[in-house]
Amino acid sequence: MLQARLLLLLLRDVLRDILRHRGQHALAVITLASGLLLAGGGLLLVEGLDRWVNHLESMAKITLYAADGAHLDETEARLKRDPRFVSVRRISSADNTKGFLATTREAGLMLQSLGQEALPETLELTLRPELLPAKKALAVGESLKEVPGVGDVVVDQERLEALQRNARVLRNALSTLGILLLVAAGFATGNVIQMTVQARNDEISIMRLVGATEAFIRRPLILEGAVLGLAGSALALIGLFAAWLPVSRGWGGISPFLVNLAREGFFSWRSILLLAVVGAATGATGAAWAFRATQKEERRMRIAMERAS
């Protein structure tokens, strides 16, 4: 109970100090929010891409194309008895041609040059949930290439694997960029808090004279940095939501790919918590660095004065 009261008193003093130097602290919050906005934007993009790929994976199918001059009657009957598949859907050559023509005008012109019956009939196979992972799905696809009457086999997971590889590369690149931005934001916050520490030199000197330890003096400054970091995280989340909302609604002729990613949803609660913790940790680290830098500067000045005397 006593510790909780002391923490509340410490928090009250920190908030009072933030309000007293609100101009400097507002600059620190904006700097932190800028770094978190860019890092959080990358996180939101990667999270949306992961959700989209997972959504596509849950809908992934294996498509069998009939060989030239062959029909898939016997193959359809055989695969309907195969326990690996939840459903088997047959699509006629005419339906395939109609769907292809509906995609783009260029597709229609290309098909006309090949002949109206250029597309063979197909079977769309839906795998059981335990066979949806890429390796298992690709193994099933390989086994279907030997089925009589089948000319080609297309496994959706094969294309999804390329998307997942690109997502991993993008995640690593954005993570590196995010770390660099947060380090820069932490140093900027530290510089602002360092100015606050220098403005309170007399107060800190009196605290040392009455026996306050360095840890006792440092504690409210680190808490102050954490509070500023949380404020920066909140501001960054507001900015990210303001950017995500119009994209998810498809306003302004935005790329359909980005719209699809945005429609997968905003941050999960875990990501929001992560952004808040990262903001608080960045602010607290910047404050600790500022206090240490101030101590070094004071020691250097004291040594210089001793040598001069």
Rounded-to-integer distance, Cα 38 and Cα 181, Å: 8
DSSP characters over 122-151: EEEEEEPGGG-SHHHHHHHHHHHTTSTTEE
Cα 184 off chain centre by:
20
Mean pLDDT of the chain: 76
Q: Which residues of the chain have pLDDT under 70?
A: 1-15, 17-24, 96, 99-118, 157, 186, 189, 193, 196-208, 210, 212, 309
Q: What is the DSSP string of 3-46?
A: HHHHHHHHHHHHHHHHHHTHHHHHHHHHHHHHHHHHHHHHHHHH
Q: Do the Cβ atoms of 146 and 106 come closer than 8 Å?
A: no
Q: List pLDDT tens digits, range 37-60.
A: 878 887 888 788 778 777 777 777
Q: Tens digit of pLDDT for each residue in 103-146?
A: 555 555 555 665 555 678 888 888 888 877 777 887 888 888 88
Question: What is the pTM assigned to this prediction?
Answer: 0.67
Cβ atoms of residues 101 and 114 within 8 Å = no
